[in-house]
Amino acid sequence: GQQLNQSPQSMFIQEGEDVSMNCTSSSIFNTWLWYKQDPGEGPVLLIALYKAGELTSNGRLTAQFGITRKDSFLNISASIPSDVGIYFCAGQGPGNQFYFGTGTSLTVIP
Amino acid sequence: NAGVTQTPKFQVLKTGQSMTLQCAQDMNHNSMYWYRQDPGMGLRLIYYSASEGTTDKGEVPNGYNVSRLNKREFSLRLESAAPSQTSVYFCASTESWFEQYFGPGTRLTVT
């Protein structure tokens, strides 16, 4: 299957710091999605990106669809304790299937 | 508005037993998906259904069968459970192919 490399695997940051994570693929994707998963819950959609070069914000979150269509990044500004969780990227590939990254675990230290 | 619901939340099976995981959505979405999530592996697609009456294999379909019972419901069946199927199973639905909404998951242990 498609491989999405997500980095970093984990982050430990102080409250108030900015966070940046990215996702790269060996294949071109038509859509990039970013999800957050809390323990014991299903992933919740944060941002959807539909066009190469697109930059989209959702509150303190900003994500970009890379020009090559093989990468995307997610930034979180001024982190707060409730940002703790696992963040996943996902790309829509051939056959309208979605492929997920392995996740970035974020810990925010108050 | 419940969104996507899954039953059961937890299940323990012995090797060789069978069971069906249930999923229902109340958002009138056409497409539904089943994923499994293993530590360090992200989510992997097992099967999906683009619309009522159709199903297609995903990345890891072996050992599973699915049924799209109607527009609302999409079930996943393990005919003969194996320890390698120990995982967390998520159902998702979407209208536009782009924005998937996930259920809370079923935690399955096969001993």
Give per-residue pLDDT as tens, A2-54: 678 999 999 999 999 999 999 999 889 989 999 999 988 899 999 999 999 99
pLDDT of residue A59: 95
CA-closest candidate to residue A108, choices A36, A34, A11: A11
Residue B50 in contact with partner chain A when CB distance is under 8 A: yes
Residue A54 in contact with partner chain B when CB distance is under 8 A: no
Q: Are B72 and B24 in contact (CB under 8 A)?
A: yes
- The amino acid at residue A99 is Y
pLDDT of residue B39: 83
> What token pair was written down for B43?
């989510």
Between chains, do B42 and A97 touch, taking CB under 8 Å as contact?
no
Between chains, do B105 and A45 touch, taking CB under 8 Å as contact?
no
Residue A35 to chain B, least CA–CA distance (Å): 10
Q: B9-34, pLDDT tens digit by residue?
A: 999 999 999 999 999 999 999 999 99
Between chains, do A50 and B97 touch, taking CB under 8 Å as contact?
no
Q: Is the pLDDT of residue A109 over 90?
A: yes
Q: B71-111, pLDDT tens digit by residue?
A: 999 999 999 999 999 999 999 998 865 678 899 999 999 99
Q: Is the pLDDT of residue A60 over 80?
A: yes
B-chain CB neighbours of A102 within 8 Å are 40-42
Between chains, do B45 and A92 touch, taking CB under 8 Å as contact?
no
